[in-house]
Structure 1
């Protein structure tokens, strides 16, 4: 299944890869259009519709200097951690996401006795599989060609009973990537996570990074009260099971380099540029 939105992202991603690899040479519109297999006119229009800004403006958001400026501004992370035990929920940042950790018993049982409903949906960044347990988001994993959604879900929740039910999960998907203002998130969106106390603290801290802003691994470590644990923080970020919504893509190296991403560096760069453009448009 390849919808128009996903096809758009696939074309944009190839151009972004070239743009970020050769940004010092300032690739021409013609070069980028060729990578997307489009005419210059259609590429410019498609890119601007997707990103909200021109390719040239978008490229400014992906430069090392822009990233360093964002890090210097700093994200308001000082009050990110609520302690090691996250058995309850807490209201977090402007996306109204609430994190709930599974009970110790549920963690040990790896989801035994629970039913996980799932569906595959489209987004500005390609297809993703979304899993839900009792109406709470349990996984959001972006898909590459050849990925098996059920294998991905089973790896995260080994003992759950899987049930494909896109209709019931659709309402959650609509709130993550709303197609119109009527679907925009207006109430807390619950996320159920299976992880250690340390991982939950890190994932909760990520929710404090506003859209369009960046934080370093060191800043996250400071925010959770463990300033020497930046390496462990990086490992926890790399194992985040809920892509985009828990914004691990907003964490970069303190040098300003974007670093890797569980779902591909091109997708990370696309997300960062897309969010930077949305943020600028909302305040202009």
Structure 2
């Protein structure tokens, strides 16, 4: 009996050690999992609207800017965690065809931009891009904040800080803490997550028109998160897309949903 008890205690000790090691590994590796950070070796072509935006500390991020016609709104877009600035050209050109300006912001450590991504670092890049837009004569009243996947958390934070007049969210999550809990339900993710992007807790502070688009078979960010956010924002419209997943929610309909975003950005319902 004593021997069995010792064996059980030893087994429990080993499992406890393994659990602690797993927690430490999750904490240490979380940013590499959250930010896959695709890279581009060469500088981006300035003749296509790309330029470098200086940041504090001698760093920079690239931006893609297609200026708006006089008096028209500009869509400021923040991409997903597996995307990069080069992949936003098609979206930008389509919105530009609608008579909108388009400004997409790269994240530190993504594309050709140096550094390492973090929540605070991404917010700083977003703030710098919006400050440049103000210097060019585009006020918050003519700024529409847009985000996809990871970028939805950036768009909401910028809206909370007063930088826009409308918000468009494609495949949004309630928070990265909630996402981590879905992926690793056996870990104390509420204690481990460093970059939280807590959209759900900020939503009530964003009293702006919000358009939420979410695929109904999204296997990465459940559509229930989009619907939940629709109840948190004071003025939200939720549109779910039948048969659409996470990476094809805009693309599967051709230009239909991007055109829907453009109409919303121009002041439509």
TM-score, structure 2 normalization = 0.23
Greater Rg by CA: 2
Q: Which structure ranks higher in relative contact order (CA pairs < 8 Å, sequence separation ≥ 6)?
A: 1
TM-score normalised to the size of structure 1?
0.23
